[in-house]
Amino acid sequence: STPTAVMTAVGRGAQLGILIKGAQALESISKVKTIIFDKTGTLTKGEPEVIDIVVTDSEWNQKRLYEVAASLEGFSEHHIAKAITKAATKNGITWELASEWETVAGIGMEGTVNGVKVFIGNEKVLEHLQEEIPKTAIDTRKIWDDTGHTTIYIVHKDKLVGMIAIDDPIRENALATVRELRKAKIQDIRMATGDNEYVAKRIATRLEIGNVYASLLPGQKLDLVKELQKSGHKVLMVGDGINDAPALMQADVGVAMGKTGTDVAIEAADIALLSDSIDKIPQAIQLSKRTVNTIK
Ligand code: ADP
Ligand code: MG
């Protein structure tokens, strides 16, 4: 049977906005020495905005680029997709949804728009190009990398037709949370993201996180957790997306963003943070340690 102290702590957690699903999770937190944070939507607000849109093919214009992009992103639940359809609407653009579409986790979307195959997403979609990447695209990418913006590419009929720059600000309490965790003797703090290494490193540096893994597919986030566990780490993983779900399940403690996180992530996690407040994680650790000490 569950000790009274644990039940009390679960109740106290709920009051704080930390929804702990079971006694086991509460006890596990006290043993955690390693924390892995997802980036997008976890350390960042997950409310990205379109900063720029650039046409890379002379036959195209911004309006057509938005139309094609939105016709695929209109199906996606991803934060970036929402940013793109919102920007399209703001620019007075209307679009017809693609006739066929598919989500490619950790990469983007693919589908058929007016009978033509279209890919939208990160640099991995460039694998579908039949030509060399135009020089303007390389130059633009460099500028966006340097300014910390995520680059989204649009490939239409095997050609790169345009690029979109996305910015997603860091959560206000993220740096304070990382520092608080270090104070609580958790020195091993890492970041794992599907986003590119430039954006990842820039954000990690600002958050004083030294260990960064970028361009990860969902399976690779899972493997990272497994690897660390094999070498004896007790891992707490924090995430919000479908792409985090396998890693959240595998981690000794999985923590999901309870407000903006996807249902799959919340289900996979042991703990949900009701208002997405990552600064509740140090509090959860404290609560867990106190509880375990009481039981001993
Ligand atoms: P994270 O691990 O940081 O939460 P995701 O795995 O959700 O990020 O996404 C990784 C990357 O894949 C994004 O940065 C983006 O480049 C690309 N991506 C994923 N979904 C989409 C989409 N619907 N449209 C465009 N790009 C996408
Ligand atoms: Mg995420």
Amino acid (1-letter code) at residue 234: K
Does 206 lie in the same domain as 192?
Answer: yes
> 151 CB under 6 A from ligand 1?
no
Please state, in angstroms and rounded to a whole number, the distance separating the CA atoms of residues 188 and 204: 13
pLDDT, residue 1, reads: 59
Residue 40 in contact with ligand 1 by CB distance below 6 A: yes
Q: Which residues share a beta bridge with 20? A: 271
Do residue 159 and residue 253 come from a single domain?
no
- Give the domain-ending residue among 101, 133, 167: 167
How far apart are alpha carbons 217 and 194 in whole angstroms? 6
List the 100-104 sheet strands across, edge first: 49-55, 159-167, 150-156, 116-121, 108-113, 100-104
Q: Rounded CA gap, 272 and 264, in Å?
A: 12
The predicted model scores a pTM of 0.89
Q: Are 126 and 160 in contact (CB under 8 A)?
A: yes
Instruction: Kindly state whether residues 97 and 154 are assigned to the same domain.
Output: yes
Instruction: Indicate if ligand 1 lies below 6 Å from the C-beta of 221.
Output: no
Q: For residue 103, what are the domain limits?
A: 49-167
Q: Render pLDDT for 1-29 as a digit per residue (tens, 0 to 9).
A: 567 888 899 999 999 999 999 888 988 99
Which of 73, 193, 209, 212 gets mutated to test ligand 1 (max ligand atoms within 8 A of its CB)? Answer: 193
CATH code at position 208: 3.40.50.1000
Pair 193, 54 in one domain: no
Q: For residue 57, how many other CB atoms are within 10 A of its CB?
A: 18
Choose the residue to mutate in 49, 78, 85 for probing ligand 1, maximizing ligand atoms within 8 Å of C-beta: 78
- Checking DSSP bridges between strand 108-113 and strand 49-55, what pairing results, if any? unpaired
Give the end of a domain, one of 125, 142, 167.
167
Residue 127 to residue 246: CA distance in whole angstroms: 26
Last residue of one domain, picked from the residues 107, 132, 167: 167
Instruction: Say if ligand 1 is within 6 A of residue 122 CB.
Output: yes
107 lines ligand 1 (CB under 6 A): yes
Same domain for 190 and 260? yes
On whether both 135 and 163 belong to a single domain, the answer is yes
Domain total in the chain: 2
Residue 107 C-alpha to ligand 1 middle, in angstroms?
6
Active site residues: 38
Residue 296 has pLDDT above 80, yes or no: no
Expressed in angstroms, the distance from the first to the final Cα of the chain is 16
Expressed in angstroms and rounded, the spacing between residue 52 Cα and the centre of ligand 2 is 22
Residue 179 and residue 35 share a domain:
yes
Residue 69 sits in a domain of what CATH number? Answer: 3.40.1110.10
Q: Where are the alpha helices (DSSP H) in the chain?
A: 4-16, 23-29, 62-73, 79-90, 135-146, 174-183, 197-206, 218-230, 245-250, 263-268, 280-295
Which two three-digit tokens encode residue 140?
């633009």
Q: Which residues contact 11 (CB under 8 A, 6 or more apart)?
A: none
Q: What is the pLDDT of residues 60-98, one digit of tens each?
A: 999 999 999 999 999 998 899 999 999 999 999 999 999
pLDDT in tens, 190-226: 999 999 999 999 999 999 999 999 999 989 999 999 9
Arithmetic mean of pLDDT over the chain:
95
Backbone angles phi, psi at 273, to 5 degrees: -95, 110
Classify strands 271-273 and 253-257 as parallel, antiparallel or unpaired. parallel
User: How far is 104 from 157, CA to CA, in rounded Å?
Assistant: 18
